[in-house]
Amino acid sequence: MGKVHAGLASHGMAWFAHEQTAGKGQRGKTWTSEPGMNIALSLVLEPRTLAAHQQFYLSAAIALACMDFFSHYAGTATVVKWPNDLYWRDRKAGGILIENIFQGSVWKYAVVGIGININQIDFEPDLAHPVSLKQITGNEFDVELLARSLYQQVLDAASALSADAFESILSRYNRHLYKQGTLVQLKQESNAFETFLIGVNGQGQLETIDSELRKFDFGSVEWIRDAAVHKMV
């Protein structure tokens, strides 16, 4: 990524890793992958049509592109878990990490790292409910071919992003949001609590309601476990 930090990268530049042992995940976690089994893709985007305060819309558009890619093979049980993890039912299929790079106040690059489980069937025991396309479908996939397809879908989604699309992106993101409209258990600092998940707003904040309306910035709250399934009425 030296070219990125030196300002020498260009829109659409990408790296595909056949083996990754120290990939970055959310909240300081790592993403590991068996050699040749999964997609480990990084690409550079230049957010030419977006302002710095609109970062969430790029994140949401990329998450939806990954969801569309995965659901083509795995079906409609594929959802997005806030902020941008890929879930199939209650199991994690992949994750997205975006590093935004600024030069002064100018949003120069977004470096998008995507990890998606494809052919791997054995996972580390400390991972929480992972799942792969092979486990879901029973089929073996050409990982490099799928990575090329995913790359194009993400690039197309980012290139098509404009202010005119923000409302529809946010609406679709919330329609496919993991546990939307149900009771979940979250933890903020040392305080664990149950709350109904409403959705995500245009600032990328998770909105929930219990005795009060709550809004959480990314990184300020974590999931503890799934609460008993109750729907909002």
The predicted-structure confidence for 207-220, as pLDDT tens digits, reads as follows: 999 999 999 999 99
Q: How far apart are CA 14 and CA 44, in angstroms?
A: 6
Q: What pLDDT is attached to residue 29?
A: 54
Q: What pLDDT is attached to residue 103?
A: 87
Could you read off the pLDDT tens digit of each residue along the chain, which spans 233 residues?
566 666 667 999 999 987 655 555 554 555 567 889 999 999 999 998 899 999 999 999 999 999 999 999 999 999 999 999 999 999 999 999 999 999 888 899 999 999 999 999 999 888 879 999 999 999 999 999 999 999 999 999 999 999 999 999 999 999 999 999 999 999 999 999 999 999 999 999 999 999 999 999 999 999 986 554 455 54
Between the alpha carbon of residue 58 and those of residues 62, 182, 197, 224, the distances in Å are 6, 26, 22, 27
List, in order of start, the domains of the chain with CATH numbers: 2-175 (3.30.930.10), 183-225 (2.30.30)
